[in-house]
Amino acid sequence: MTTAELNEYVVSPSGLARLQNRIAALETKLREIGMSKGEASEVGGNTWHDNFSFEQLTRDELMWSDHLARERRILSRARIMNTPPPADGVVHIGCAVQLRRADGFLVEYVLVCFGDGDPVKRWVDYASPLGRTLLRLEAGDEVDLFIDGRHETLTVASVRIVWPCHG
Q: Looking at the structure, tell me whether residues 8 and 63 fall in a common domain.
A: yes
Task: State how many domains the chain has.
Answer: 2
Structure confidence at residue 45 (pLDDT): 61
Helix residue ranges per DSSP H, the chain: 3-6, 13-44, 52-76, 129-134
Q: Looking at the structure, tell me whether residues 72 and 110 fall in a common domain.
A: no
Q: Measured between alpha carbons, how far is 56 from 133 in angstroms, rounded to an integer?
A: 41
Q: Looking at the structure, tell me whether residues 19 and 54 fall in a common domain.
A: yes
Q: Measured between alpha carbons, how far is 130 from 145 in angstroms, rounded to an integer?
A: 8
Q: Looking at the structure, tell me whether residues 138 and 72 fall in a common domain.
A: no
Per-residue pLDDT, averaged over 44-60, amounts to 78
Q: Which of helix, strand or coil describes residue 111? A: strand
Structure confidence at residue 41 (pLDDT): 79
User: Phi-psi category of 140—alpha, beta or left, where left has phi over 0 and alpha has psi -120 to 50?
Assistant: left
Structure confidence at residue 51 (pLDDT): 81
Instruction: Name the DSSP letter for residue 121.
Output: G
Q: Which of helix, strand or coil describes residue 125? A: strand
Query: Is the Cβ–Cβ distance between 113 and 166 less than 8 Å?
Result: yes
Among the three residues 57, 80, 103, which one is the final residue of a domain in this structure?
80
pLDDT above 80 for 165: no
Q: Measured between alpha carbons, how far is 138 from 91 in angstroms, rounded to an integer?
A: 6
pLDDT, greater one: 166 or 55: 55
Q: Looking at the structure, tell me whether residues 109 and 153 fall in a common domain.
A: yes
Mean per-residue pLDDT of the chain = 90
Structure confidence at residue 7 (pLDDT): 81
Quickly state the pLDDT bin for 47 (edges 50, 70, 90).
low
147, part of any domain: yes
Across 38-42, 119-123, 132-136, least confident range: 38-42
pLDDT above 60 for 5: no
pLDDT above 90 for 52: no
Residue 23: give the domain boundaries. Answer: 3-80
85, part of any domain: no
Which tens digits make up the pLDDT trace of 79-117?
999 888 898 999 999 999 999 999 999 999 999 999 999
